[in-house]
Every structure is written in structure tokens, then in C-alpha cells.
Amino acid sequence: PEAITVQELANRMAEKGADLVKSLFNMGMMVTVNQTIDQDTAELLVEEFGHNITRVSESDVDIDTSEDQDPEETLKPRPPVVTIMGHVDHGKTSLLDALRGANVVKGEAGGITQHIGAYQITTKNKDKITFLDTPGHAAFTQMRQRGANVTDIVILVVAADDGIMPQTIEAINHTKAAGVPMIVAINKCDKPEANPQKIRERLLEHEVVVEAMSGDVQDVEVSAKTGAGLDELIEKILLQAELMELKANPDRLADATVIEAKLDKGRGPVATVLVNRGTLKVGDVFVAGTQSGRVRALIDDRGQQIKQAGPATPVEVLGLGGVPQAGDSLTVVENEQRAREVASFRQQRETEKRTTLAPTNFDTMFSSLK
């Protein structure tokens, strides 16, 4: 709720102050150009003069990259971003480990994924796939919801020896709400008690009709333990990705989404981001949520320092002024002054929000990977 002087509003609309005064007079208000009017009145005037209403304060300062599209000819194919979802202990992390040939599960506290891990694999045919691993624990529902919205494809992991569990259903609902295609990976098929057919039948109750049941949702039997079915899973991901013709412009200032962020004892604020478009480079100046910074180092998912990261690449960013929130966008800007201006504007807005009613809505974080 801002007040603005008549003259200032006239300047912003490129109209004469006197004309505004006249209009206000016709609306029954006696004011001079130096007097302030409230926001509602200002909006009425703006409409009266045939201009579009934008929140002047925001659009003047803040950056919103979700609307501006890159020209078709600048777009190049990019890897798909695949999020692995499913009930706790159904084998999400194990499956991802098997796919990337590493072992993360053993390094996790109690074997439960505490955060969204982000990894990229390169297939035999040199295709790249980016994976996001989400926690299966009920307490992490919100985090998982965030994961679904930066994603192109969801892999729903269901353990063949268990069945459709509460978080399986939650993942199905969230995937449907986000309008993201799903591939069902029926895991733990190496177990003697595994019953993949039962899983397929049970999925029908949740309106997930897999190919084997004459539906259009791809499904594949896998075992993270033996590696069975993994090649087929990768094939299905690539097939789905091909249909989607995923593209992004790599030759521009980067924007990215913060997947997770923390304050690291030795390294300071660290954010894992997923580049949406453009190429993020060491030395780039950026604003990430309410924080500004300059990229001091980029570290890939194998812990290697890299110089730059293109579209759909997950990368750790060092050089932040503070810790941003998961789900924030990180946007590269022209210079430090601009970065600070945007960051301080956003900080101010946050403070204002906190003093008014501010419902948190994780679903507002929609992908800019378009």
C-alpha cells in the first residue's frame, strides 16, 4: 500500500500532471500535482488513461524471468530433468546410485535422504539426464513438492514387495497436479516375494494405467540391487524426453532454481542450483532470492570444480552473500549494483510481507524450464 504524488504518477505514465488533476477533479477529488493519492485511486487513474496496471515498485526494480521467452532460433536441446519420487525405503536413492554407479545411500544418516540431491549422468550414447532425488519421509512432503515443479519427468518408484503406500499416492497426486509425465519403476523385483503385477493393478485404483495394463504410462520392472531393468528405464526416460523436445538458450545470462541451500562451516553459504537457461559462469554477479553474490566457484555433482554450467546442469554455487531459500530463483545480472538493488528490494518486501498476512504456497514455484 503505497502513496504516490500526482506528478510522479503522471511522469510514470508520460502524461501531463494537469491532466491527472483534471481527471481527479471529475472523480470528485480536489488535489494538486504535489499531493499524494492512495494506490486504489492511482490504479483508477492509470486505467482511466488507458495504461496497464503493473505494480510499479516491483516491475521497476525486481526481476521476473518467468515471462520472457527466448527466441526460437536461440534454443538448443537440453537434458531432461527427472525427479525420483516414492514412498520411504522403496529404493529411490538406491536406484539413483545404481544409475550413476556411485554409492550415496551408505553416506546418508540412517539411510534416509535428508535433502534433494541433484546429479547428472551420461549414458552410453552420450545422452545426459539430470536426476533429482527427493526424500521419502512424510516430514519432507513440502520439499518433495518443490522438487516436482522444476522437473520434466517424474519416476515413481514402487517397491514390488510392498505396494502403494501413502507417499506413493501423494507423489501420484502431486505429479498429476503439476502436469508432468510419469514413468513407473517397479523396484526390488529381485526379491522372492516381489509381485509387480499386483502393483500394476493397485495403481489402477489411483488412475495410473500403465502400458502393461493397456494404458499410456510407461512402466518398467527394475532392481536397484542387481541392476536389472536399468537400461530399459534409461531408454524410457530418453524416449519420453525426446517427445517433449526440451530446449533452452545456453547463450545468455543464466537463470537457475535453488534446489537446496545451507550455511557451510568452511565455505560459507552454499546453494545447489539447477540452471534453467543460459550458462552460469565463475565470476557472474547474481541475485538469488533476497541474497546477492558473485560466483566464486562452481562445483559439479562429483565434487569437481568447473568453470561454467549450462541448462539442466545441477551445480553447487559458492559466493553468496547469505543463504537463499530452496525454490528461489538465481538470476545473473549485469553488475553488482543491480544485484544489490534487487536483493535489498526483495528483503524489504519480505519484511513487509512478514508484518502482513502471508500464506506460504509452495505451488507458486513453477518451473521456468520451458
Binding residues for GTP: 86-93, 133-137, 187-190
Binding partner at 218 among Mg ion, ligand GTP, none, C-beta below 5 to 8 Å by kind: none
Question: CA 324, CA 295: separation in Å to the nearest integer?
Answer: 14
Binding segment for Mg ion (CB under 5 A), chosen from 88-96, 166-174, 197-205, 293-301, is 88-96
Q: In angstroms, what CA-CA distances link 136 with 107, 267, 329?
A: 17, 28, 24
The torsion angles phi and psi of 156, rounded to 5 degrees, stand at: -95, 115
Pick 7 or 93: Cβ nearer ligand GTP: 93
| Residue (114 or 348) nearer to ligand GTP, CB | 114
- Applying CB under 5 A, which of residues 7, 41, 83, 93 lies at the interface with Mg ion? 93
Q: How far apart are CA 309 and CA 82, in angstroms?
A: 18
Element (H, E) at 58: helix 56-61
113 binds ligand GTP (CB under 6 A): yes
Q: In the bound complex, what is the minimum distance in angstroms from residue 110's beta carbon to Mg ion?
A: 10
- Asked whether position 136 contacts ligand GTP by CB under 6 A, the answer is yes
C-alpha cell at 185: 519403476
Return the range that interacts with Mg ion (CB under 5 A); candidates 8-16, 50-58, 84-92, 302-310.
Answer: 84-92
225 lies in the site for ligand GTP, by CB under 6 A: yes
Among 19, 89, 211, 341, binds ligand GTP (CB under 6 A): 89
Strand partners, 256: 275, 330
Q: Which does 146 bind (CB under 5 to 8 A by kind): Mg ion, ligand GTP, none?
A: none
Q: Compute the distance between CA of residue 174 and CA of residue 148 in angstroms, rounded to an integer.
A: 7
Which one of 7, 41, 83, 93 is in contact with ligand GTP (CB under 6 A)? Answer: 93
Place of cell 504535489: 34
| Three cell numbers, residue 250 | 545456453
Q: In Å, what is the CA distance from 37 to each residue of 26, 32, 40, 197?
A: 15, 10, 8, 68
Q: Tell me which residue has cell 542450483.
A: 273
Which among 170, 121, 128 is positioned nearest to 147, based on CA atoms?
A: 170
Q: Which does 70 bind (CB under 5 to 8 A by kind): ligand GTP, Mg ion, none?
A: none
- Asked if 147 touches ligand GTP (CB under 6 A), the answer is no
Task: Report if residue 113 touches Mg ion, rule: CB under 5 A.
Answer: yes
Determine the size of the site formed for ligand GTP (CB under 6 A).
22
Let me know: does 91 contact 53? Beta carbons within 8 Å: no
| Element housing 86 (H / E) | strand 81-86
**Pick 167 or 249: Cβ nearer ligand GTP:** 167
188 binds ligand GTP per the rule CB under 6 A = yes
Question: Contact, 269 vs 296, CB < 8 A?
Answer: no
Binding ligand GTP (rule: CB under 6 A), the pick from 53, 55, 59, 111 is: 111
Positions that interact with ligand GTP (CB under 6 A): 86, 88-94, 105, 111-113, 135-137, 187-188, 190-191, 223-225
Q: Which residues bind Mg ion (CB under 5 A)?
A: 92-93, 113
